[in-house]
Structure 1
Amino acid sequence: MRDRVRRMFPWAYAASSKHDYAKDYGWPECLEFEHFHRLYKRSSLAAAAVDKTIAKTWQTMPAIWEGETPGETPAEADISKHFAKRNLWRALMDADRRSMVGCYAGAILLLRDGKTLDQPVDRVAKGIESLSSIIPAWEGQLTVAEWDQDETSETYGDPLFFQFDEQAVGDPQNVGRRQVRIHRDRILIFSDDGTVNCSSALEPGFNDVSDAEKIKGAGGEGFWKSARGAPMLESKDGLSIEDMMRGMGVATPDEIRDKLNDKVDEFQAGFDKAFMLSGFTAKPLTITLPQPKEFWEPCVQSFAASMSIPFKVLVGNITGERASTEDAAEWAQTNMARRANRIVPILNDMLDRLVRWGVLEARPWTIGWDDLLDASPDEKIDRAVKMATINQTLGSEPAFMADEIREAAGFKPADEVKGFDEFLRDRQERQRRAAEDGPVQTIPDEVTE
């Protein structure tokens, strides 16, 4: 209520400090969803920060396992096939993207239960096919229509119904779409804590991006004006207003300005225009611009810090192998933490609902996801080479078993590779025959699949 009164009567809540930074620096006093959405759509920095975070978090799509480890069971295969066919993981990823721009976002679950969206979910036909689709929704499309006011309810104070506006956000031409009332059972809320009471990821760095855009825009405008600036017109001594009126054929002094502006506009319409004035001297307006990089980079660095993204990752300028490796490791750790603390709890909530509704059987379902900190294929091979080198150094007492080296290189143990035992027996037999026929010769290693 206080915030609403502040917006209605800002003069009554004037800042008591010496400076009003928002007013002095041209920053919005109150930020709404429209500010963040426009920033994401029009600012390359904001779009890069959001899209790169989503791309890294969802670098690989998760999977649903029946236990702590993948069992490759028929149920897991059916779920994986259905999610891929219906692009359900992609829809959840898009909901996560929208939640970074707004204070929250929604993922609307479309179920084959024969009920309208404003009805709570009771029981659904068994099988993952009962989850037919998922619709990601912006904060600007999804608003709370009714709160749970039952003081005896476990969800007291939480949204009970949402209103979904089918009109696309930021598209004024897309009018005439419906507004649908949706029960909370059918909506997953994506935010930092799973509620609608969060803030946009772009809010802490909003002023930094605004300043960076001002510097970039001013630099571009300044260079344009320096290349084709408005001329400064000087009249010769003794030239009166009446003389200029007669020379230009106008009746009032105000028309002099209009005539001069028309001449200047015609001159600035192209680089090959001539500029002729009688009784005036035209001098170019010279603009000296400082190097904007020195002012632009601190703004971008501050914005990158607000998004917990390394500066070099944000702008794509990786210099130095060590620096890039450390930045990549830190970036992977940040997104692993984001997965664990933000995304996985939401996906677990979805699994709990599917089990409660009867879509999935009651089993210890787990969200499985590849580790972003896993070594690259080249790094794994280098590690295996080092392990093999240590074995050669130690001689008869190797420090690592062959399967350990294979695992370090990213391959299965030998006894799990089909045909590997036959390959070893055949090789040993050929070596034995070669030894019987003469001196032992080096037999090239065969390449097997």
Structure 2
Amino acid sequence: MSKITNAVQAAFQNAARRLDIMFPGCFPEVKHNHYRDFGWPENLTFQQFYAMYNRNGLAKGAVERTVLKTWQDAPEIWESAKAKESSLESEIRQRFDDLRVWQVLAEADRRAMVGGYAGVILRFRDDRGFREPVDTVPGGLDGIAEVIPAWGGAGAQLEVSEYITDTESEDYGKPKMYLFNEAAVGNDLTKVRQFEVHPDRVLIWSRDGTVDCRSDLESGYNDLLDAEKVKGAGGEGFYKAARGNPILEADKDLDVNRMAQAMGVEVEKLADAMNEQVEDFQKGFDKLLMLQGMQAKTLQVTLPTGDTYSNAAVSSFAASMMIPVKILMGSQTGERASTEDQEDWNLVNNARRINIGKPRIRELINRLERFQIIPERDWSINWADLTEAGKDKKIERAFKMAEINAKQKDDPVYHADEIRVAAGDSAGAPDPFSDGDDE
């Protein structure tokens, strides 16, 4: 008897599980899988981020706007605080310009935003292979042959092939060797040259300088999919409404045999013939549609307003990228980004310069020092502050200070040096006989 009872209980439990699947949300203690319900992928790969970046306007715009704003001007490497450029600083600037170092680093920043990390492969004229460590590089700055950006991540161009597993090593857990795939990402070539690259010859560009970072697009990936669904559904609905697929309604007294005879086909092939005729009719405005006692009606498609759903997805994605919506989307119906939006945007990208850009550039400088390409100095990285007011704002501020002083003739509020500094100039009256040389 107990066996029969257990069997009945098991049958009821199985039936309940099936009902839970068939009617989700209708039973107590049900557990939802929102990713499956809403069509979101549970696990994301580099290829998905790369495809989204290339084929989705929001993703492309967010990455490009961030990178272009961060790198709107190039940093400078100084060996002293003097305003006049030294000969060594000039050599570095010219060699970096020849190698397009700053453009390559900006491209690495772009690729890291998409894939989580990117690599900058350093080719040196040291007569050694890519898989060998670097000792010293002869020729100074001319010893740098090329600087190459590479997509990073599994399935990309550059990935870790081996890690340091010695727990006694201070570099435990760091990459021991990289594998570089020469083919461009998205290229379907089956035979591609691959070779190993030593970490000395690779500069990793990511938020923390490791290969463990995640794509900037990941947090807003579901929002991008939702925006695509709304746009795609609207486009498909508009296309169907514009195309106007006809619905043929047959009269109850319709003689199918006479209709087939008129169209010159057998009765069994009448439906196919009607489909061909309707398809031909929709190809142009001057086509004939033989109805033979039928009535043709147009399928009406009512398109809902998708702004509410689309705007929610766009706003959520913009928040994930820390971009004000009006800056991400541009001017909409004459609306421009507010001053507060612009200041916040400048703050975000200035923080990227400080927390991502400068540490990676510092790592490059340390690498060049270690390989004796440049001498050891107390190098400083000078990169303009994006939060600082522009020249026009500074002049406006100085003008207002001068106006206040003019109203307070007997007791000026601001000193002349304060007004010069507010205008963006150095304190102290300029020497009319000075030629601008500090020497």
Is the structural similarity TM-score above 0.5?
yes
**TM category, shorter:** 0.7 to 0.9
CA change 1:166–1:297 in 2 (3 A) is: same
Q: 2:297: which partner in 1?
A: 283
Q: 1:315: which partner in 2?
A: 329
Cα contact 1:79–1:128 (8 A) shared by 2: yes
SS at match of 2:338: helix
Correspondence for 1:262 among 276, 289, 296: 276
Q: How does 1:47-446 map to 2 (within 5 A)?
A: 47-67=60-80, 72-125=85-138, 127-139=140-152, 140-172=156-188, 176-239=191-254, 245-251=260-266, 253=268, 255-317=269-331, 324-413=338-427, 415-416=429-430, 419=433
SS at match of 1:143: strand
CA distance in 1, matches of 2:96, 2:371: 18
Deviation by residue 1:428-447 (Cα, 9 ceiling, x = unmatched): xxxxxxxxxxxxxxxxxxxx
CA shift for structure 1 position 248: 4.2
CA change 1:273–1:307 in 2 (3 A) is: farther
CA distance in 2, matches of 1:115, 1:216: 53
**What is the TM-score with the length of structure 1 in the denominator?**
0.84
SS at match of 2:357: helix
Cα contact 1:167–1:175 (8 A) shared by 2: no
CA shift for structure 1 position 360: 1.2
SS at match of 1:64: strand
CA shift for structure 1 position 71: 5.2
CA distance in 2, matches of 1:266, 1:290: 30
CA shift for structure 1 position 242: 5.5
CA shift for structure 1 position 152: 2.3
Deviation by residue 1:108-166 (Cα, 9 ceiling, x = unmatched): 11112121111111111252222232111112111111111222221111111111111
CA change 1:162–1:264 in 2 (3 A) is: farther
Q: Which amino acid aligns with 1:195?
A: T
CA shift for structure 1 position 324: 1.1
CA distance in 2, matches of 1:76, 1:63: 9
The number of residue pairs the alignment matches comes to: 405
Report % sequence identity.
45
Cα contact 2:259–2:292 (8 A) shared by 1: no
SS at match of 2:347: helix
CA distance in 2, matches of 1:418, 1:268: 81
CA distance in 2, matches of 1:252, 1:31: 53
Deviation by residue 1:385-406 (Cα, 9 ceiling, x = unmatched): 0111122122144333334323
> Could you say what the CA RMSD is over the residues aligned between the two structures, in angstroms?
2.5
Cα contact 1:233–1:283 (8 A) shared by 2: yes
CA distance in 2, matches of 1:271, 1:158: 68
Cα contact 2:181–2:195 (8 A) shared by 1: yes
Deviation by residue 1:80-123 (Cα, 9 ceiling, x = unmatched): 11111221100010001000011211111111212111111111
Greater shift after overlay, 20-29 or 394-403? 394-403
CA change 1:94–1:417 in 2 (3 A) is: farther
Greater shift after overlay, 177-186 or 404-413? 404-413
CA distance in 2, matches of 1:185, 1:411: 43
CA distance in 2, matches of 1:17, 1:305: 31
Cα contact 1:92–1:134 (8 A) shared by 2: no
Cα contact 2:116–2:212 (8 A) shared by 1: yes
Q: Which amino acid aligns with 1:339?
A: R
SS at match of 2:172: coil
Q: Which amino acid aligns with 1:288?
A: T
CA change 1:246–1:90 in 2 (3 A) is: same
Cα contact 1:69–1:368 (8 A) shared by 2: no
Q: Which amino acid aligns with 2:245?
A: A
Deviation by residue 1:150-199 (Cα, 9 ceiling, x = unmatched): 22221111111111111111133x66442121111111111222111121
CA distance in 1, matches of 2:244, 2:66: 41
Cα contact 2:256–2:267 (8 A) shared by 1: no
Greater shift after overlay, 83-92 or 126-135? 126-135
Query: Which 5+ residue runs of structure 1 have no aligned equivalent?
Result: 1-13, 422-449
